[in-house]
C-alpha cells in the first residue's frame, strides 16, 4: 500500500467528496470533528500537530494550505476543549 502524502484537509475533502458528492469546507470538517469520541479527537489533534511541525514549501499554495490547516487546528482545539468541559 502506498503512503498517503495528503494533508488532513485533503483527506477529509476526499472522503466527503466520495460520500456526499462534494468536498467539505473547513467549518464542516470541524463540525464532523465534534462527533468523534474523546480519544479519536485527541489522536486527530496530535496527528495535525505533527503535520504542522513538518516543513512547508514557500509557494503560495503551500502557504495558503498551511494557513487553512492552522485555522482548522484552532477550530478543532476549541471544539475539543468545549466538549471536554462538558465531559463528553
If one counts the domains in the chain, the total is 1
Question: How far apart are the C-alpha atoms of 3 and 25, rounded to whole Å?
Answer: 24
* pTM listed for this prediction: 0.80
Per residue in 54-69, pLDDT (tens digit) is 887 777 788 888 899 9
What residue numbers bound the domain in which 25 lies?
8-85
- 55 assigned to some structural domain: yes
* Cell numbers found for residue 45: 489533534
The most distant pair of C-alpha atoms in the chain lies apart, rounded to whole Å, by 42
Beta-carbon contacts of residue 83 (< 8 Å; ≥ 6 apart): 34, 38, 41
Per residue in 19-44, pLDDT (tens digit) is 889 998 888 999 999 999 999 999 99
Amino acid at each position: 500500500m502506498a503512503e498517503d502524502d495528503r494533508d488532513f484537509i485533503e483527506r477529509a475533502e476526499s472522503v466527503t467528496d466520495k460520500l456526499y458528492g462534494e468536498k467539505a469546507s473547513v467549518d464542516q470538517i470541524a463540525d464532523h470533528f465534534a462527533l468523534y469520541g474523546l480519544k479519536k479527537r485527541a489522536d486527530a489533534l496530535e496527528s495535525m500537530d505533527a503535520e504542522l511541525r513538518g516543513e512547508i514549501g514557500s509557494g503560495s499554495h503551500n502557504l495558503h494550505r498551511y494557513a487553512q490547516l492552522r485555522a482548522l487546528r484552532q477550530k478543532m482545539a476549541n471544539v475539543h476543549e468545549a466538549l471536554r468541559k462538558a465531559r463528553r
